[in-house]
């Protein structure tokens, strides 16, 4: 579990990343571009040479150098590999793991020879999924309906999957870990916002934690946000279809209600006129805002960490200051509009 003051993001240059790809995977004629990442380092590996080689994926690959905390959880890394292979075999487009020259799906690497910390990082190669991120296309009711159906289909499909690493896997990003945010609220300097976060944490403990055992549970993706869904253009009607799902780093056995709350939380940030929700959505916004602010203190300049804060505080205050009856009315109105 992450603790305040802990720095876990890998430190490596683009040149170092290229050498890892060449040494571990034997890919020589390549170009790499760094992608956004939270605690991990991600690079798009583009193939410059013979694209017809049977082992090469035409769209290139993603080199993922994992943070030092998650790199200690090797059973969980293996579970992420298995879940990607399972979903891929069942027709779901998601990054597929690629074996390295040693025949393994990952390796543990020291990034610098003079690293006195002794930290090692898991290095993986995954197929790159082409398309646009959900956040890059117009937000329509039709597309939001497709997102909701896709989330439900994934969770239903995962009922047929099991790996022991998920039996007790919890992180600071698990929604049931919301009370742990109190350790990180020092990163929110604004007194009014800090007080709002603590009020929501209190409400979460009172209204949600107390009934947690009674909620229906299963394996959930755990982070269906606007940057983990890839969409592709539908030429027949100029709409957008769901093309792929990314990042199983937060997959866990938890409440299905939490999956819904997490998804709605991030979809609300896309749609300026959205305002349905409940304590779980507010709690997820608190997680994203508090942990984003904390991570930015550890990694200044990584603007990706502040993505949620661009709209998140306004949305959080709107939800929390709207009477419950009005929220419920808006929720019912939204559901009805999709049924018409």
Residue where one domain finishes, among candidates 258, 273, 288? 273
Task: Looking at the structure, tell me whether residues 166 and 202 fall in a common domain.
Answer: yes
What pLDDT is recorded for position 20?
93
Highest mean pLDDT among 25-39, 213-227, 260-274, 321-335: 213-227
**Which residue is listed with tokens 């300097």?**
189
What pLDDT is recorded for position 107?
95
Evaluate the CA torsion angle 56, 61, 65, 71 in order and state its sign. negative
pTM equals: 0.80
Evaluate the CA torsion angle 111, 305, 171, 271 in order and state its sign. negative
- pLDDT tier at 275 (50, 70, 90 boundaries)? very low
Residue 337 within any structural domain of the chain = no
How many angstroms separate the CA atoms of 282 and 312, rounded? 10
- pLDDT tier at 331 (50, 70, 90 boundaries)? confident
Closest-CA residue to 130 (of 56, 53, 62, 51): 62
For a pLDDT cut of 70, what percent of the chain falls above it?
91
Task: Looking at the structure, tell me whether residues 146 and 255 fall in a common domain.
Answer: yes
- pLDDT tier at 127 (50, 70, 90 boundaries)? very high
CATH number at residue 66: 3.30.200.20
Q: Which domain holds residue 302?
A: 276-325
Task: Provide DSSP, 299-322.
Answer: STT-GGGGTTHHHHHHHHHHHHHS
Q: Kindly report which listed range (118-122, 211-215, 240-244) carries the lowest average pLDDT score.
A: 118-122
CATH number at residue 239: 3.90.1200.10
What pLDDT is recorded for position 55?
59
Closest-CA residue to 229 (of 253, 247, 255): 247
Task: Looking at the structure, tell me whether residues 225 and 143 fall in a common domain.
Answer: yes
Q: Decide if 197 contacts 290 (C-beta within 8 A).
A: yes
pLDDT over threshold 60, residue 115: no
């Amino acid at each position: 579990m992450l603790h305040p003051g802990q720095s876990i993001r890998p430190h490596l240059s683009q040149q170092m990343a290229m050498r890892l790809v060449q040494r571990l995977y034997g890919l020589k004629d390549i170009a790499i571009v760094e992608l956004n990442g939270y605690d991990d380092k991600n690079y798009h590996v583009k193939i410059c040479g013979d694209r017809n080689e049977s082992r090469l994926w035409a769209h290139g690959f993603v080199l993922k150098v994992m943070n030092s905390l998650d790199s200690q959880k090797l059973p969980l890394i293996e579970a992420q590999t298995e879940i990607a292979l399972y979903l891929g075999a069942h027709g779901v487009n998601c990054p597929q793991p690629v074996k390295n020259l040693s025949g393994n799906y990952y390796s543990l690497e020291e990034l610098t020879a003079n690293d006195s910390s002794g930290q090692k990082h898991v290095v993986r190669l995954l197929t790159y999924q082409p398309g646009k991120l959900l956040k890059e296309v117009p937000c329509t009711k039709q597309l939001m309906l497709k997102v909701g159906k896709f989330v439900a289909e994934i969770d239903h499909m995962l009922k047929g999957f099991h790996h022991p690493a998920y039996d007790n896997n919890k992180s600071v990003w698990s929604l049931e870990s919301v009370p742990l945010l109190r350790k990180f609220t020092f990163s929110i300097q604004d007194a009014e916002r800090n007080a709002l976060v603590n009020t929501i944490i209190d409400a979460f403990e009172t209204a949600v934690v107390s009934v947690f055992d009674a909620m229906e549970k299963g394996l959930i993706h755990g982070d269906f946000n606007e940057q983990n869904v890839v969409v592709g253009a539908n030429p027949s009607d100029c709409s957008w279809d769901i093309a792929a799902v990314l990042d199983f780093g937060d997959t866990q056995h938890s409440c299905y209600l939490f999956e819904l709350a997490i998804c709605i939380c991030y979809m609300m940030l896309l749609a300026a006129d959205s305002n349905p929700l409940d304590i779980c959505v507010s709690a997820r916004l608190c997680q994203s805002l508090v942990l984003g602010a904390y991570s930015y203190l550890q990694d200044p300049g990584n603007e990706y960490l502040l993505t949620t804060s661009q709209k998140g505080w306004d949305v959080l205050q709107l939800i929390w200051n709207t009477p419950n009856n009005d929220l419920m009315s808006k929720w019912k109105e939204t559901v009805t509009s999709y049924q018409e």
